Amino acid sequence: MEKRMIGLVELPHVASSPGSVLSRLNILSGLTPGEAKILITLGPGSFVLASTIGTINIGLPAIQDEFGVSLSALKWVSIMGAIMMASLSLCFGRIADNIGRKRVYKAGMLIYAVFSGCAAAAVSFETLMAARVITAAGVAMAIPLGVAIAASSCRPEKRGQVIGLLASFSAAGQLAGPSLGGFALDIYGWRGIFLANLIVAGLCSLIQQFTLKGDDERRSEPFDFLGAVLLFLGYPALLIALSLGPGKGWDAPLTLFWFGFAVKQDRLHFG
């Protein structure tokens, strides 16, 4: 093996394959080329998905100006991601156990990219919200399963390092989201935010189609369809009640209706 001098440090010279280059980085020290490849494959996806809330929030005033919607309606563009994550993450996790994590993750990234483009082309607030609901479902598919894929693709002693680095990509996305959203907004308006998501997420999805291959562990277990439906209905109802309470009053009929609806879904499932 050849050696070369960099400053006063003598380093071994090895073939410059992508895995070996990545493994020389300090943050990837100790990882095998395969583990580094998984991290670099999933990291950019985690970044763009985590930046979604920040980028979209920057564009809300422009969306309100174009469509003339109320502030109470506008806020649902932003919180739809939280609703989908809480309502559907467990459901998609169980589906992934049955058909494969990588397959569901790649589907989530593709859905997010495609319907970000649909949101950019929205002709009304209703079509924008419809596209936003589906992109949020894509986020609910991809974010938790990205962590699961990373954890199952590395050695047990390196699992904490890989998950921690993947979380760093997500944290960077959350921090950079408002700045990136403002940059896109300045160039092409609020539609530019969704177009940027389409381009970046589409590129990540394309790369992942070729890099995330192979079968992962599957378990044939029954899927709780009733529980999935009730969770999907109950959690948004609870959020609606909590959002109405401060304005209309906690004892207002409409607030009490949504609270009762949420409780009813819980009782239908758990008895």
User: What tens digit of pLDDT does each residue of 72-106 get?
Assistant: 788 878 877 777 777 788 788 888 888 888 899 99
Q: Which residues contact 210 (CB under 8 A, 6 or more apart)?
A: none
Q: Worst-scoring range by mean pLDDT, 194-198, 204-208, 219-223?
A: 219-223
- pLDDT the model gives residue 95: 84
In a domain, 238, yes or no: yes
The CB density around residue 5, as the number of other CB atoms within 10 Å, is 8
User: Within this chain, do residues 218 and 241 fall inside the same structural domain, yes or no?
Assistant: no
User: Within this chain, do residues 178 and 267 fall inside the same structural domain, yes or no?
Assistant: no
Residue 237 CB-half CA count within 13 A: 18
User: Hey, is 13 helix, strand or coil?
Assistant: strand
Q: How confident is the model at residue 217 (pLDDT cuts 50, 70, 90)?
A: low
In a domain, 260, yes or no: yes
pTM: 0.78
- pLDDT the model gives residue 153: 84
* Distance in angstroms (rounded) separating the CA atoms of residues 237 and 156: 40
Q: For the chain, count helices (H), then strands (E).
A: 9, 2
User: Within this chain, do residues 38 and 111 fall inside the same structural domain, yes or no?
Assistant: yes
In a domain, 89, yes or no: yes
User: Within this chain, do residues 271 and 187 fall inside the same structural domain, yes or no?
Assistant: no
User: Within this chain, do residues 106 and 240 fall inside the same structural domain, yes or no?
Assistant: no
* Distance in angstroms (rounded) separating the CA atoms of residues 36 and 154: 9
User: Within this chain, do residues 204 and 230 fall inside the same structural domain, yes or no?
Assistant: no
Q: How confident is the model at residue 113 (pLDDT cuts 50, 70, 90)?
A: very high
- pLDDT the model gives residue 7: 43
* Distance in angstroms (rounded) separating the CA atoms of residues 265 and 234: 5
User: Within this chain, do residues 153 and 250 fall inside the same structural domain, yes or no?
Assistant: no
Domain that holds residue 134: 33-222
Name the nearest CA neighbour of 135 among 81, 174, 60. 81
In a domain, 63, yes or no: yes
User: Within this chain, do residues 44 and 174 fall inside the same structural domain, yes or no?
Assistant: yes
Q: Which residues contact 44 (CB under 8 A, 6 or more apart)?
A: 169, 200, 204
In a domain, 21, yes or no: no
Token pair of 197 as six digits: 């998501």
Find the helix or strand (DSSP H, E) in which 201 lies.
helix 159-211
In a domain, 7, yes or no: no
Please calculate the CA angle 137-179-139 and round it to the nearest 5 degrees. 10
- Has residue 235 got a pLDDT over 60? yes
Q: How confident is the model at residue 206 (pLDDT cuts 50, 70, 90)?
A: very high
How many structural domains compose the chain? 2
* Distance in angstroms (rounded) separating the CA atoms of residues 56 and 60: 7
Segment 153-183, tens digit of pLDDT: 888 888 888 888 899 999 999 999 899 999 9
- Has residue 4 got a pLDDT over 50? no
Q: What is the mean pLDDT of the chain?
A: 81
User: Within this chain, do residues 238 and 132 fall inside the same structural domain, yes or no?
Assistant: no
User: Within this chain, do residues 188 and 119 fall inside the same structural domain, yes or no?
Assistant: yes
> Can you point out the beta strands (E) in the chain?
2-6, 9-13
In a domain, 10, yes or no: no
Q: What average pLDDT does the segment 250-259 reach?
A: 85
Segment 51-63, tens digit of pLDDT: 988 888 899 999 9
Percent of the chain with pLDDT over 70: 83
In a domain, 20, yes or no: no
